[in-house]
Amino acid sequence: MKAVILAAGKGTRLRPLTEDKPKVLVEVDGKPLIEYAFDSLIDVGVDVSEFVVVVGYKKEQIMERYDDEYRGVPITYAHQREQLGLAHALLTAEPYVDDDFVLMLGDNVFEANLGDVVNRQGEERADAAFLVEEVPWEEASRYGVCDTNEYGEITRVVEKPDDPPSNLVMTGFYTFTPAIFHACHLVQPSDRGEYELPDAIDLLIQSGRTIDAIRMNGWRIDVGYPEDRDEAERRLTDTAESSETTDDTTAESDTATMAESGSTPSE
């Protein structure tokens, strides 16, 4: 399965961190944002055949840094010449995608069940699957908000609504069939002059396509502001420390078990 990574943004809200680099090369805990996207897909076991990276602002820095592969996975670059919204960005990848694919925003840091979304797409029960997250109601208007039915299927998506229909929001991790490209072609510019991905998703829903909502198990940080980077670094540190504690506890338990049985680690 191919993975489309949207990485064309300027990151104006991240200044001064983005004054000399594209947003996805801002480092979080010593690693560029885009590498969290790459690694999260590879490390959860997604069989990624190719990364299609949509580049724009200071694209040369990304292309020179990663060239044509990352950890053995080929990279193809698609150039978004103008920043006209996520649906517009996705369309630049259309020539390189002809089957089901993953779409991921390049400025998120995830520690979550991404594999569940990909597996649901593989079951061929749905035409798309999204990782969604419950947020406090007062924060929902900052995101693309989803409505769902009793089967966990998404029935409506609204981009940054003043009056959110729910507190279930999109996280920037999706799987689609190529039908999304046709929907993107039909989208009209929004009030802010952009071609919005939620509008394309709504067209899919209106045409009878099934989109499953997969609830997030874990956490993610949308690194839009400098303080978000700080929060992501804190979360990563907490996760690493928790993992080390779990490993130490497991090792102690194994040692105790061997002692009770009269064996030694070398046996």
Can you give the pLDDT at residue 261? Answer: 64
Residue 254 belongs to a domain: no
Which CATH number characterizes residue 14's domain?
3.90.550.10
What is the average pLDDT score of the chain?
Answer: 88
Can you give the pLDDT at residue 72? Answer: 95
Tens of pLDDT, residues 83-128: 999 999 999 999 999 999 999 999 999 999 999 998 887 776 678 9
Residue 253 belongs to a domain: no
Contacts of 178 (CB under 8 A, 6+ apart): 94, 97, 98, 99, 100, 101
Rounded to the nearest 10°, the torsion over CA 259, 261, 266, 267 is 170
Q: Which domain holds residue 13?
A: 2-239
Residue 21 belongs to a domain: yes
- Give, in degrees to the nearest 5, the angle at Cα 100 between 157 and 24: 70
Give how many domains the chain has, as a whole number. 1
Residue 249 belongs to a domain: no
Tens of pLDDT, residues 122-159: 776 678 999 999 999 988 888 889 999 988 899 999 88
Residue 260 belongs to a domain: no
